[in-house]
Structure 1
Amino acid sequence: MKYQDSLEQASEKAAQVKVFLQRAGLAAHPVNYAVCYDYISGHHAALCTAIEHKLSAKTPFDDFIMADLYSRYLTPANPQQEQLLQDASGIVSRLTGYTDLAAEQVADYLQQLDFSLLQLQQQQQNGENILSAVEQLRQQTQEFRSGQYQLQQQLEQANQQSHQLRHELEQLKLQRQLDPLTGLYNRSAMQHQLELWFTEQPGRRVAAIAIDLDHFSRFNQDYGSAIGDVILSKVARKISSYVQSSGLPVRAGGEEFLILLPDVDLRSASEIAEQVRRGVEKLRFVSARSKKALPKVTISLGVSLYQHSENWYQFLARTTDVLTLAKQRGRNQVASETMLALPA
């Protein structure tokens, strides 16, 4: 195990994890299990504190919260990010050094200039030859100019490096917001965007469309995860094609997707969801190896509208409940939150 637990310790912790998941009503998939196992192990103080806080606040746990905890506390450090941070630290240190050197050179030159001007004044009053003092002042000025030129070259080089670093940081920031398989936004980007929308306009209307591929686990079992990943990627591309620039297409995890639509009412969101459903249903897939047609892929969708009396965790959990209703009604269909109170 991760903490080199003995078989007995691992079995005991696994039993505790199972109890935690059952009490929270969570599925025992890898993300949920990893979060619970780390919490039970008690080796990650920040994760334990976050979970204890939610438990004391009686916050209901769901897949969204667990994935957020996993992303925040258990995602391995990115070596590329660490290298960029070291590069940034190095550039800042060099710029600080160059600035200190420039200030020191200017201070020395001004001191020498004051001294030389004083000498000129005294020699002129005494009727002495001032050529030597002028020559000394010229040499000091030349040395100062040469030092400033070298410093300018160093600053220009550091400036170029900082621009390159800024570009790389922007690319890394974008990578951290995207799901590597599908190219859609991830949960972290979703949370940030929701918080931004609600901060900009607290009463803003936001609709959510939760999407799940029907019987996809069975598809993976029959055809393998490699083909499954190709299907996910193409379905994600089709889903994204229905989202305008103001919306946010998200891979929520596994075969689950979300579309967040600001300033859209429930009826319009349901119409968009139906367009997405039909678009995915029309997709056709052929095995590159056997050249045989693969089974048709369909999706179930749940549509809900944000209520300002809830937090965004509750909002997304409610959207998932609507999606579950679509599955219970036979899959390959769109369910709206208005159906929750209706008989199945």
Structure 2
Amino acid sequence: MKYQDSLQQASDKAAQVKLFLHRAGLAAHPVNYAVCYEYISGNNAQLCQIIEQKLAAKAPLDDFVMADLYSRFMAEDNAQQQLMLQDAAGMVSRIAGYTDVAAEQLDDYLQQLDDSMLRLEQVSNDSVVLTVVNQLHQTTADFKRDQQQLHQQLLLANQQSHQLRHELEQLKQQRLLDPLTGLYNRAAMQNQLDVWFSEEPNRRIAAIVVNLDHFSRFNQQYGNTIGDVILAKVARKVSSYVQNSGLPVRSGGEEFLILLPDVDLRSASEIAEQVRRGVEKLRFVSSRSKQTLPKVTISLGVSLYQQSENWYQFLGRTAEVLLLAKQRGRNQVASEAMLAT
């Protein structure tokens, strides 16, 4: 980040940042402060747009969201690594293509040379021509030996380039995953949404928001380390109910989001109930004390995306449905159809 603010400008922005953090209920630690300062400064159009959309949709801004924004739009090493990955992937693809083409061209050339010499032997009895053909045979044999060595080197280079490309793809994939739970992150969610809507602008997408009940209380009692283990296991359980067409996302600290394309509200609610029951059956025991930990339950809200709203308005409305499930006693599923009743 580079700013050219005067002392007065910096003081004014600092006051605005402090007010913003207070209204959002965010702690004034470096990441939150930096993101808010960038937003107040208006230097990053994408970051500002996302925050504006969230505010308009009354979607919550928590530490998890702020850390995600910092990583995506402000961490310089993240942008540089992304650029390096793109350049390296392009280079590896070109090398793989060149080695494939080179091997094919050499094989074609040698085959044409053998065919041409065979025709010369068949149509000519001239001693000079036959001598030249014999010399060509010898030269070709030597060239073939060299070519075989080169071909082996090209094959090795090709295999290495394909392996490197595979590793680069894995690295790119890892950047789209939440490191704790293994679920997709917000960047992956946005990428997938772009793909879905580019394929079909009016596509129906159902969302199931999943929130662990009283998880902050659980963390306070048993510690964040055990809390992270529980969170990761619940995430795996949630993910197990998502088919290949769907997308399981970690959207917040103890909140997950399941996106289901081409699924209606009723089907999504049935899937949500299966997820709820599956998590309710989980049992946890502390590896240290062997103590049986309290049962973990989840509340779920189900809604459908409407074309008249932006994505953050949709997520805000889904959060309202989740709140309804919590108000009804938690450990249950609520759908947006209940809001109208």
Q: What TM-score, normalized to structure 2? A: 0.72
The change in CA–CA distance for 1:283 and 1:334 in structure 2 (over 3 A counts) is same
Structure 2 counterparts to residues 151-166 of structure 1, below 5 A: 151-166=150-165
In 2: Cα distance, 1:55 partner to 1:281 partner: 35
8 Å CA contact 2:95, 2:158 repeated in 1: no
Question: Partner of 2:91 in structure 1?
Answer: 89
1:43-72 Cα offsets, whole Å, 9 max, x none, are xx5xx2224456888973745875663342
Give the gaps of 5 or more residues in structure 1.
Answer: 108-123
8 Å CA contact 1:91, 1:161 repeated in 2: no
8 Å CA contact 1:300, 1:334 repeated in 2: yes
CA displacement at 1:81 relative to structure 2: 9.2
Question: Partner of 2:115 in structure 1?
Answer: none
Segment of structure 1 superposing worse, 204-213 or 26-35 = 26-35
Amino acid across the alignment from 1:197: W
CA displacement at 1:161 relative to structure 2: 1.0
Question: Partner of 1:116 in structure 2?
Answer: none
SS of equivalent residue, structure 1 residue 253: coil
SS of equivalent residue, structure 2 residue 232: helix
Structure 2 counterparts to residues 211-250 of structure 1, below 5 A: 211-250=210-249
The change in CA–CA distance for 1:17 and 1:161 in structure 2 (over 3 A counts) is same
In 1: Cα distance, 2:304 partner to 2:227 partner: 31
Larger Rg: 1
Structure 2 counterparts to residues 73-222 of structure 1, below 5 A: 73-74=73-74, 76-77=77-78, 82=84, 86=88, 89=91, 92=94, 141=140, 145=144, 148-222=147-221
In 1: Cα distance, 2:66 partner to 2:100 partner: 47
The change in CA–CA distance for 1:139 and 1:41 in structure 2 (over 3 A counts) is farther
SS of equivalent residue, structure 2 residue 163: helix
The change in CA–CA distance for 1:194 and 1:56 in structure 2 (over 3 A counts) is closer
Question: Partner of 2:45 in structure 1?
Answer: 49
1:168-192 Cα offsets, whole Å, 9 max, x none, are 1232233223222222222222222
The number of equivalent residue pairs is: 326
1:278-312 Cα offsets, whole Å, 9 max, x none, are 33223222222222222222222111111121232
Identity %: 66
The CA RMSD over aligned residues, in Å, is 4.7
Amino acid across the alignment from 1:60: A
Give the gaps of 5 or more residues in structure 2.
Answer: 110-125
Amino acid across the alignment from 1:50: Q
8 Å CA contact 1:242, 1:272 repeated in 2: yes
Q: What TM-score, normalized to structure 1? A: 0.72
**Higher normalized contact order (CA 8 Å, seq sep 6+, divided by chain length):** 2
Question: Partner of 1:272 in structure 2?
Answer: 271
